[in-house]
């Protein structure tokens, strides 16, 4: 597998860039540059983008949830822009009433639900749900509690239920209509990942846990439909029917196929040298899952195809979330890749890292599309909404530097960004 | 034949086509030159040749002073180097091969070692997450001695500790782990010869068994090393077996076999002192006990790992005693220990009782079941020489057995 230094498209002088790289030719479309320079306020952009969706039913959706268990202030006031600190250098929309502790996962509602709803699980043992409106306003809707930090969350395919996985070794199903949550899964160790599987002949919840098992639950029964053994603790997983990819400790990597019933498809030798941290499956042009991106703690992402025509050439890794571009003399600071998400329409990907930046990449053109400014906290989670217009990322401490750098008083944020334009793939030259 | 003067200067344009002789011995190690009156001339020639490899500093003085003509004339003087060069192709770059380390690592191995050293340096300076496994190359198994924890696991520890006002414990444990990591890293950065050997054998042996290496990283995984933890019965206690330092301290860097598996299977009994006397032996015993696990469904692996940890306390004595005699028998050839230790660790596990049951039934069942097939020859059918060949690290040419190997020597 080759190591690629992705070409960075080097942008405008206004943005100080860490990546030296080779000087890239100016972007071919001057319209893009214009758009960048005259960038409107995020609110307006988001409004324009989001307004393309069918949103008339949004107001009526307020009755979707039962009584909102308030967060306290609730309210839609944006915090006054504090220019001194760097918590939002990209000037993205802040979600109101963010969780009180680090955010571990973000997920947007599926397309079956009109409008956009965002859930976030946090280390404060809660999972919160907001409605994201077309104008960019976020309205806190409801929250549920676990007895331990929430590590992962996902939506059911019809958007009526939210599944949450927690360190209290259970997973819960949260019915949003009734605002009730019931336990649906039990493990012997904290549950790290949870995904909803919707197959033609069955549907279930897949939970991966640090007890080295992968369990599949029919939500109505207290015993799992199936249990699969993992070689090691499950660290991250992703499901795009009919494929599931699970990355475990000790660089374990297994792909499952989910037709008929889940079974192990292949164990893959890790293309990375260090601990796996996050994985995301991508699809090909005909919307079939064809491979996955795997991120490690060492600032590197591997793109791996399951059945490539030419494995040596098609699979590659690239470095990201490092401090000094290509300057090899000074030792680089290397940061973990905390999350990877693929744009549902364009197929380009976003990575977020412990360095407090997010980057957009085009894996087919093998280039970097954009890197953000550095936030003052690591970015711990990210996701796209179902049509790819909104990119949400959470700024909160991910424990990458140990307990000394943990400040419980520090505010955690979730930002929303208009992703319609920036993630367009680069045209191959 | 006449010696090609240009070749000696390193600039023969004909290369292998040259009609003159390209003496290979001139570029070889100084001691490999012919021991003769012309030895002095040769010594000078090789030195000169070595000079040429770098951008040429071609000193006429040394050339003239060494008694050139006398040294090089007369084909008879060069009978032996002539033979040598007949055996080996006329290789201008033979001097480069003399740069080959006397410890005899091949290029590939050297590359791996360099890679490891470089990666260690990067890891140290980059500030990246410490508690991670590591492997020098994509397809290779993990290097032993690195404990793997994700940030979330560590964080959960902290939260649980602070819920019990036990943060000092947490801090101490973390510091301890950091120290371990640092030690191991320093070790790998500056490997001595035996360290290199064991590292290379680790990487090579386990290359043939990538699956088991995945399967076994995990035995020790959940043990975080918090000594006084059993007190807090909160959620994590069951999964994090907080016994005193279960894993082999990284000092035992030479442990062979897949990453963390090297440390734990011999040390199921957490309470026993983990340092196994002979690294080679322990390494080998880990591999086969890994092999024995591969036969059963890994369901019992997790059972071993999580549930009966106290049960293993009793097996500790049994296990460590079983591993002790192993190194003695293992010394003759690296792989000898495999089958024997596999059996003994299986039996040791049997004494433990707890989940040993499942463990042993499988491996005992399997050899009986499969061994009699045509795919593998039972041990009884092999001659002593064949057995020795199978157990050696490498086959010796001319002695390669024609029968398939016995199943218990295979890493499955």
Measure CB to CB from residue A399 to each of B151, B170, B305 and give the nearest one. Answer: B151
B21: DSSP letter: B
Helix (H) or strand (E) holding A173: strand A170-175
- Tell me how close the Cα of B155 comes to any Cα of chain A, in angstroms: 6
Q: Is the pTM of this model over 0.80?
A: no
Find out whether A55 and A390 touch, Cβ atoms under 8 Å: no
Split at pLDDT 50, 70, 90, the class of A72 is: very low
- Does any CB of chain A come closer than 8 Å to the CB of residue B214? yes
pLDDT digits (tens, 9 = 90+) for A187-200: 999 999 999 999 99
pLDDT digits (tens, 9 = 90+) for B385-409: 877 887 877 877 777 778 788 777 7
Choose, out of A3, A150, A403, A405, the residue to mutate when testing the contact with B (most B CBs < 10 Å). Answer: A403
Q: How far apart are CA B358 and CA B365, in angstroms?
A: 11
- Does any CB of chain B come closer than 8 Å to the CB of residue A297? yes
- The complex's ipTM works out to 0.78
Q: Residue B77: which of B21, B8, B30 has the closest Cα?
A: B21
Burial class (CB in 10 A: 0-12, 13-18, 19+), A408: exposed
pLDDT digits (tens, 9 = 90+) for B85-121: 444 455 555 555 544 444 566 788 888 888 888 888 8
Q: How far apart are CA B378 and CA B370, in angstroms?
A: 9
Find out whether A390 and A416 touch, Cβ atoms under 8 Å: yes
pLDDT of residue A389: 92
pLDDT of residue B17: 86
Give chain A's count of helices (H) and strands (E).
Answer: 3, 30
pLDDT digits (tens, 9 = 90+) for A201-259: 999 999 999 999 999 999 899 999 999 999 999 999 999 989 999 999 999 999 999 99
Q: Residue A186: which residues within 8 A CB-CB, separation 6 or more?
A: A169, A170, A222
Give chain B's count of helices (H) and strands (E).
Answer: 19, 0
pLDDT digits (tens, 9 = 90+) for A353-390: 999 999 999 998 999 999 999 999 999 999 999 999 99
Taking the alpha carbons of A214, A284, A365, A36 in that order, is the dihedral positive or negative? negative
pLDDT of residue A186: 93
**B216:A231 CB<8 A:** yes
DSSP sequence for A93-115: EEPSS--SS-EEEEEEPPTTSSS
- Does any CB of chain B come closer than 8 Å to the CB of residue A264? no
Overall average pLDDT of the A153-175 stretch: 94
pLDDT digits (tens, 9 = 90+) for B299-341: 343 333 333 334 333 333 334 344 344 334 434 443 343 444 4
pLDDT of residue B75: 39
- Does any CB of chain B come closer than 8 Å to the CB of residue A406? yes
Q: How far apart are CA B62 and CA B56, in angstroms?
A: 13
Distances in Å between the alpha carbon of B38 and those of A86, B1, B50, B75? 76, 17, 18, 12
- Does any CB of chain B come closer than 8 Å to the CB of residue A213? yes
Residue B368: both structure tokens together: 């009986």
pLDDT of residue A46: 53
Residue scoring higher pLDDT (B316 or B20): B20
- Does any CB of chain B come closer than 8 Å to the CB of residue A273? yes
pLDDT at B59 over 50: no
pLDDT digits (tens, 9 = 90+) for A267-276: 999 999 999 9
**A251:B299 CB<8 A:** no
**B122:A336 CB<8 A:** no
Measure CB to CB from residue A249 to each of B148, B170, B213 and give the nearest one. Answer: B148
- Partners of B260 on chain A (C-beta within 8 Å) are 250
pLDDT at B151 over 50: yes
A residues 92-121 closer than 8 Å to B (CB): 104
- Does any CB of chain B come closer than 8 Å to the CB of residue A189? yes
Distances in Å between the alpha carbon of A155 and those of A67, A119, A134, A205? 20, 9, 21, 10
Percent of chain B predicted with pLDDT > 70: 39
- Partners of B177 on chain A (C-beta within 8 Å) are none
Q: Residue B332: which residues within 8 A CB-CB, separation 6 or more?
A: none
Residue scoring higher pLDDT (A323 or A122): A122
Overall average pLDDT of the A93-109 stretch: 93
Mean pLDDT of chain B: 58
Split at pLDDT 50, 70, 90, the class of B47 is: very low
Question: Could you tell me which chain A residue has the CA closest to the CA of B137?
Answer: A273
Q: Could you report how far apart the first and last alpha carbons of chain B are, in Å?
A: 56
- Tell me how close the Cα of B217 comes to any Cα of chain A, in angstroms: 6
pLDDT of residue B126: 84
State the alpha helices, DSSP H only, in B18-166. 39-53, 60-65, 68-72, 79-87, 94-98, 107-126, 151-163
Count Cβ neighbours within 10 Å for each residue of B207-241 and write b for 16 or more, e otherwise.
eebbebbbbbbbbbbbbbbbeebeebebbbebbbb
Find out whether B347 and B297 touch, Cβ atoms under 8 Å: no
- Does any CB of chain A come closer than 8 Å to the CB of residue B232? no
pLDDT of residue B20: 87
Question: Could you tell me which chain A residue has the CA closest to the CA of B142?
Answer: A250
């Amino acid at each position: 597998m080759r190591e690629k230094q992705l070409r960075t498209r080097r942008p405008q002088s206004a943005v100080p860039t860490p990546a030296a790289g080779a000087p890239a030719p100016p972007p071919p479309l001057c319209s893009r540059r214009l758009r960048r320079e005259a960038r409107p306020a995020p609110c307006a952009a988001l409004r324009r983008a989001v307004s393309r969706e069918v949103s008339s039913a949004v107001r009526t959706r307020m009755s979707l949830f039962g009584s909102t268990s308030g967060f306290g202030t609730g309210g839609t006031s944006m915090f006054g822009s504090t220019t001194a600190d760097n918590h939002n250098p990209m000037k993205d929309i802040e979600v109101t009433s963010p969780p009180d502790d680090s955010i571990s996962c973000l997920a947007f509602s599926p397309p079956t639900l009109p409008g956009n709803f965002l859930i976030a699980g946090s280390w404060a043992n809660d999972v919160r749900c907001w409605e994201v409106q077309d104008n960019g306003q976020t309205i806190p809707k409801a929250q549920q509690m676990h007895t331990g930090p929430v590590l992962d969350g996902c939506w059911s395919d019809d958007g009526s239920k939210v599944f949450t996985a927690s360190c209290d070794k259970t997973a819960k199903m949260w019915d949003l209509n009734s605002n009730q949550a019931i336990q649906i899964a039990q493990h012997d160790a904290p549950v790290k990942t949870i995904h909803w599987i919707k197959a033609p002949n069955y549907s279930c919840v897949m939970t991966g846990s640090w007890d080295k098992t992968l369990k599949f639950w029919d939500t109505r029964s207290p015993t799992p439909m199936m249990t699969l053994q993992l070689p090691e603790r499950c660290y991250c997983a992703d499901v795009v029917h009919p494929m599931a990819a699970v990355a475990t400790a000790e660089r374990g990597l297994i792909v499952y196929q989910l037709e008929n019933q889940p079974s192990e498809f292949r164990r893959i030798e890790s293309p990375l040298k260090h601990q796996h941290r996050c994985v995301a499956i991508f699809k090909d042009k005909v919307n079939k899952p064809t491979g996955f991106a795997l991120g490690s703690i060492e600032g590197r992402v591997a793109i791996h195809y399951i059945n490539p025509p030419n494995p040596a050439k098609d699979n590659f890794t690239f470095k990201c979330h490092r401090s000094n571009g290509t300057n090899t003399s000074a030792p680089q600071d290397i940061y973990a890749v905390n999350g990877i998400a693929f744009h549902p329409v364009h197929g380009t990907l976003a990575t977020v890292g412990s360095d407090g930046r997010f980057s957009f990449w085009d894996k087919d053109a093998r280039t970097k599309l954009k890197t953000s400014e550095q936030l003052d906290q690591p970015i711990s989670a990210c996701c796209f909404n179902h049509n790819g217009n909104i990119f949400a990322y959470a700024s909160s401490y991910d424990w990458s530097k140990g307990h000394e750098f943990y400040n419980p008083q520090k505010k955690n944020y979730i930002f929303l960004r208009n992703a319609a334009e920036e993630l367009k793939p680069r045209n191959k030259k | 034949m006449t010696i090609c003067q240009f070749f000696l200067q390193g600039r023969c344009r004909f290369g292998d086509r040259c009609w003159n002789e390209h003496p290979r011995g001139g570029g070889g190690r100084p001691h490999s030159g012919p021991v003769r009156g012309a030895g002095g001339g040769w010594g000078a020639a090789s030195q000169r040749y070595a000079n040429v490899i770098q951008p040429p500093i071609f000193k006429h003085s040394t050339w003239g002073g060494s008694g050139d003509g006398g040294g090089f004339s007369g084909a008879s003087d060069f009978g032996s180097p002539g033979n040598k060069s007949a055996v080996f192709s006329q290789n201008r770059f033979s001097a480069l091969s003399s740069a080959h380390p006397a410890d005899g690592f091949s290029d590939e191995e050297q590359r791996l070692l360099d890679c490891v050293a470089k990666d260690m340096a990067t890891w140290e300076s980059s500030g990246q997450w410490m508690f991670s496994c590591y492997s020098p190359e994509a397809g290779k198994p993990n290097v032993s001695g690195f404990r793997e924890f994700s940030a979330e696991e560590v964080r959960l520890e902290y939260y649980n500790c602070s819920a019990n006002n036990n943060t000092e414990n947490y801090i101490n444990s973390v510091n301890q782990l950091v120290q371990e990591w640092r030690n191991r890293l320093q070790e790998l950065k500056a490997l001595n010869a035996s360290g290199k050997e064991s590292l290379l054998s680790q990487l090579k042996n386990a290359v043939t068994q990538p699956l088991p290496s995945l399967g076994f990283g995990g035995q020790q995984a959940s043990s975080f090393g918090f000594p006084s933890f059993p007190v807090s019965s909160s959620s994590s206690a069951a999964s994090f077996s907080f016994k005193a330092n279960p894993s082999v301290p990284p000092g035992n860097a030479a442990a062979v076999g897949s990453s963390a598996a090297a440390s734990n299977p011999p040390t199921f009994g957490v309470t026993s002192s983990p340092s196994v006397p002979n690294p080679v032996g322990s390494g080998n015993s880990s591999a086969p006990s890994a092999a024995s696990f591969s036969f059963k469904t890994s369901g019992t692996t997790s059972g071993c790992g999580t549930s009966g940890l106290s049960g293993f306390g009793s097996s500790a004595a049994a296990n460590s005693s079983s591993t002790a005699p192993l190194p003695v028998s293992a010394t003759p050839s690296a792989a000898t220990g495999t089958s024997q230790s596999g059996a003994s660790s299986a039996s040791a596990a049997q004494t433990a009782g707890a989940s040993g049951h499942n463990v042993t039934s499988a491996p005992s069942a399997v050899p009986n079941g499969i061994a009699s097939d045509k795919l593998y020859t039972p041990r009884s059918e092999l001659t002593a020489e064949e057995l020795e060949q199978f157990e050696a690290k490498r086959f010796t040419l001319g002695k390669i057995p024609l029968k398939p190997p016995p199943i218990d020597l295979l890493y499955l």
